[in-house]
Amino acid sequence: MNYSYTVKPEAEINKMLRQAEHSFPIINDEQQLFEQADFYKALADPVRLKIIAILLEAPCCLCELASAFKIPNSTLTHHLKLLERGRVIVAKKIGRYTIYELTDENAANFLS
């Protein structure tokens, strides 16, 4: 098969960028872009998706999650920090326990 491609002129690229900015206003806000990227990075691992699945059932402490995954605490903590950075979960200190749960804003997204 023979495919050809012609590079678009700069004016057309600029027009496409303006259309993208109109269609997706988030690309104009760098802070929002980074937050969105952190959210998707947090979802980009099978272990983190399993953590989310468990937290959909009920909030859990680190020791409960550790017994479910049989991975080193340091690895699990790393996954939890990425989920927190992506604002997928929130950690709450209750007594001597740190309880992890889905954020209210994201829980509905995972339920649908």
The CATH number of the domain where 105 resides is what? 1.10.10.10
Identify whether 72 is part of a domain: yes
Looking at the 3D structure of the chain, how many domains does it have?
Answer: 1
Give the structural domain span for 41: 29-111
Identify whether 6 is part of a domain: no
For the segment 40-92, what is each residue's pLDDT rounded down to a tens digit? 999 899 999 999 999 999 999 999 999 999 889 999 999 999 999 999 999 99
- Model confidence at 108, in pLDDT bands (50, 70, 90)? low
- Please say if the pLDDT value at position 1 is more than 90: no
In angstroms, rounded to a whole number, what is the distance separating the alpha carbons of residues 56 and 70?
Answer: 20
Identify whether 93 is part of a domain: yes
Q: What are phi and psi of 95, to 5 degrees?
A: 65, -125
- Please say if the pLDDT value at position 106 is more than 70: no
Pair type for strands 89-94 and 97-102: antiparallel
| Closest of 99, 109, 96 to residue 43, by C-alpha | 109
